[in-house]
Amino acid sequence: MKFLYGILIFILIWWVLSVFINSLFILPSPLTVGKVFFEIIQTKTLWDALTSSIYKGFIALILTILIGFILGFFMGICDFCFEILRPILTVFQSVPVISWLVLVIFLWGIGTRGPIAITVLSLLPNTTFAVAYGVKNTDKNLLEMAKVYNVSKKKIFKDLYLGSVGPFILTALEVVSGNLWKVIFVSEYLCGKNGIGVQIAWARQYVDIPKVYALTIFAVVLGILSERLSKLFVKIFLKDWEYGN
Amino acid sequence: MVIKLENINKSFGKLKVIENISFSLSKGEKLVLLGPSGCGKTTLLRIIAGLESFEGIVIKNFKKLGYVFQEPRIIPWKTIYKNLKFVEENDKKIENILKTLKIYEFKDYYPNKLSGGMKQRVNLSRALVIEPDLLLLDEPFASLDIHIKWNIINDLLNEWRKRNFSMIMVTHDIKEAIMLGDRILVLSNRPSKIIKEYIISEKINEEKLTREIIELWTHEVKA
């Protein structure tokens, strides 16, 4: 209920500001944007764009988690790997999305691969570091206990390392899912062939400001939905850790 | 013979902690290494368990080793049952040992829901479930209330009577050493060396022995 009140207050402030500014090009009223929103959700173009963005987001998420987990695991168990990869990832972390753009446009041109690559490159450092620190934090006493009892490497990996990394990787997933759509839409805007980001780019091109806002609402809803979903996912999978800690 | 140690020496950098320790242990024997706190008793157990490098010779003649750590070392995100499953696949054995050590009803509990005594029972169950030939105990009862301590010791002795495994326990508690050991090796302050050996029989005068050991340590400190 409080969440709904928050939205209502936000819409009210927006409406007051739009009346005060009185310019469709700067801040269209919530009613205008609402009308456009209901118009565009009835078009196939929007749903095609949404499917494309979700597809790219999903692939980028899987690749980020997969590569981040493998790299992070080796960084966690091998200090040499950690020292070698840390500066590279720190550089990656600081590179702005726009700089990756040059690289992917020359490599693949406009299309699907560019936004996926940019998203992975932007989100990979945080995920990798999260996994690496998780592995590094694996309780040495538990590893010693496993050694004494001659526990198999497979079990040590599954029950101790994965167990230790679990909370780190799921927290990283929560952070990644929050940032995922922002990066996807920006990279689509810059080098995508289709997707919500591309729709925003076209709307801006035609100075269709209410459509830009309507598409932004769509992006916000998608962001909130995926964050809620990832939180639910984290809650289910962290059940054991919550009980255990 | 289950294990034999010959001239074991161990240093951490310039700090010598163990000096020329030699002893052997026969099948079914309960040996107690009794020494003052910080003398290197745990290091000696870690050497036997293969967790520490050392100088000297260790001849091992056993297959399975159980280790009751001073702190329980239970996996926090696994239930008690799954903690035992981590070291032993056989469900029947797990159930039996949990029943023997009176923690079966807590098998689905997570460790943070257990008391210190319960956690030590889990620690002991994990060591016994693998049916060890040699059991190492590192001051496992140090932080427990006296009645819980004696209950656990009783359960441990019952299990030992059934299976006849060998045990090496380190402790600084003289009463505990007399209660549990067939033989006591008294260790000196650091660097740890064997200063006296006692064979425990039913006739032993506990008070006299306690006084003697305290005098040994006091004399050692003065010297």
Write the pLDDT tens digit of every residue in A175-208: 788 788 888 998 888 888 889 999 999 999 898 9
pTM of the model as a whole: 0.79
pLDDT at A243 over 70: no
What the block records as the tokens of B74 is 């239970």
B133 three-state secondary structure: coil
| Chain B hits for A240, Cβ within 8 Å | 77-78, 110
Inspect the interface and report whether the beta carbons of A142 and B71 lie closer than 8 Å.
Answer: no
Domains and CATH numbers, chain A: 24-244 (1.10.3720.10)
Q: B77 touching A, CB under 8 A?
A: yes
Same domain, B156 and B52: yes
Same domain, B145 and B46: yes
What the block records as the tokens of B140 is 């496992």
**Residue B105, domain extent:** 76-131
The answer as to whether B69 is a domain residue is no
Neighbours of A208 (CB within 10 A): 17
Pairing of strands B3-12, B65-68: unpaired
Neighbours of B71 (CB within 10 A): 14
| pLDDT of amino acid B220 | 67
Same domain, B109 and B175: no
Inspect the interface and report whether the beta carbons of A244 and B65 lie closer than 8 Å.
Answer: no
Q: What is the CA radius of gyration of chain B?
A: 18
Inspect the interface and report whether the beta carbons of B110 and A244 lie closer than 8 Å.
Answer: yes
Inspect the interface and report whether the beta carbons of A241 and B77 lie closer than 8 Å.
Answer: yes
CA B218, CA B10: separation in Å to the nearest integer? 24
Nearest residue to B82 via CA among A144, A40, A158: A158
Indicate the residue of A146, A151, A240 with minimum beta-carbon distance to B77: A240
The answer as to whether B71 is a domain residue is no
| pLDDT of amino acid A168 | 82
Same domain, B127 and B137: no
Indicate the residue of A145, A243, A245 with minimum beta-carbon distance to B73: A145
DSSP 8-state assignment for residue A161:
I
ipTM of the complex: 0.90
| pLDDT of amino acid B25 | 96
The answer as to whether B174 is a domain residue is yes
Among the residues of chain A, which ranges form H helices? 2-21, 30-40, 44-77, 79-94, 97-108, 113-136, 140-148, 153-155, 162-191, 196-205, 209-237, 239-244
Compare all CA atoms of chain A with the CA of B50 and give the residue at the minimum distance.
A148
Q: B126 touching A, CB under 8 A?
A: yes
| pLDDT of amino acid A136 | 92
Candidate from A71-80, A115-124, A204-213, A235-244 with smallest mean pLDDT: A235-244
Inspect the interface and report whether the beta carbons of A163 and B77 lie closer than 8 Å.
Answer: yes
| pLDDT of amino acid B223 | 55
Do residues A114 and A104 lie in contact, with contact meaning Cβ atoms separated by under 8 Å? yes
Same domain, B87 and B100: yes
Contacts of A164 (CB under 8 A, 6+ apart): A134, A135, A137, A138, A139
CA A214, CA B114: separation in Å to the nearest integer? 55
Inspect the interface and report whether the beta carbons of A163 and B67 lie closer than 8 Å.
Answer: no
Compare all CA atoms of chain A with the CA of B84 and give the residue at the minimum distance.
A149
B55 three-state secondary structure: strand
Domain final position from B131, B149, B168? B131
Same domain, B141 and B218: yes
The answer as to whether B94 is a domain residue is yes
Indicate the residue of A142, A148, A243 with minimum beta-carbon distance to B75: A142
N residues, chain B: 223
| pLDDT of amino acid A180 | 87
DSSP lists the bridge partners of residue B115 as: none
Q: Which residue has the tokens 């036997």?
A: B48
Residues of chain B scoring pLDDT < 70: 220-223
Same domain, B85 and B45: no
Same domain, B97 and B206: no
The answer as to whether B70 is a domain residue is no
| pLDDT of amino acid A241 | 60
pLDDT at A169 over 90: no
Inspect the interface and report whether the beta carbons of A149 and B111 lie closer than 8 Å.
Answer: no
Kindly report the average pLDDT of chain A as a whole number.
88
CA B142, CA A78: separation in Å to the nearest integer? 36
Same domain, B159 and B149: yes
Inspect the interface and report whether the beta carbons of A163 and B110 lie closer than 8 Å.
Answer: no
Where on the phi/psi map is residue A83: left (φ > 0), alpha (ψ -120 to 50), or beta? Answer: alpha
A226-231: long-range contacts at Cβ-Cβ below 8 A with a sequence spacing of 24 or more? Answer: A226/A57, A226/A177, A226/A178, A226/A180, A226/A181, A227/A174, A227/A177, A227/A178, A229/A177, A230/A173, A230/A174, A230/A177, A230/A178, A231/A174
Distance from the Cα of A139 to chain B's closest Cα (Å) equals 9
| Chain B hits for A159, Cβ within 8 Å | 75, 78, 86
> What does the pLDDT look like over A128-156, one tens digit per residue?
998 999 899 899 999 999 999 999 999 99
| pLDDT of amino acid B3 | 96
The answer as to whether B30 is a domain residue is yes
- For A24, phi and psi rounded to 5 degrees? -65, -25
What the block records as the tokens of B124 is 């002991």
CA A40, CA A32: separation in Å to the nearest integer? 12
The answer as to whether B25 is a domain residue is yes
Do residues A65 and A200 lie in contact, with contact meaning Cβ atoms separated by under 8 Å? no
Q: B110 touching A, CB under 8 A?
A: yes
What the block records as the tokens of B202 is 């039913």
Which residue of B42, B73, B77, B106 is the best one to mutate when testing the A interface, meaning the one whose CB has the most A CBs within 10 A? B77
Inspect the interface and report whether the beta carbons of B67 and A244 lie closer than 8 Å.
Answer: no
Inspect the interface and report whether the beta carbons of B77 and A244 lie closer than 8 Å.
Answer: yes
Domain final position from B115, B131, B147? B131
- H or E stretch at B207: helix B206-222
CA B157, CA B164: separation in Å to the nearest integer? 10
Prior bond to B191 cis, omega within 30?
yes
Same domain, B162 and B97: no
CA A75, CA A128: separation in Å to the nearest integer? 8
Same domain, B147 and B178: yes
- H or E stretch at B150: helix B146-163
CATH at B147: 3.40.50.300
Q: Mean pLDDT, to the nearest integer, of A33-48?
A: 91
Same domain, B36 and B57: yes
Nearest residue to A123 via CA among A165, A93, A95: A93
Residues B114, B120, B121, B122: is their CA dihedral positive or negative? positive
Q: Which residue has the tokens 């479930």?
A: B129
Chain Cα centroid distance, residue B141: 9
Q: Is B147 exposed, middle or buried (0-12, 13-18, 19+ CB in 10 A)?
A: exposed
Distances (CA, A) of B160 to A244, B63, B124, B132, B155: 32, 17, 12, 10, 9
What's the domain count of chain B?
2
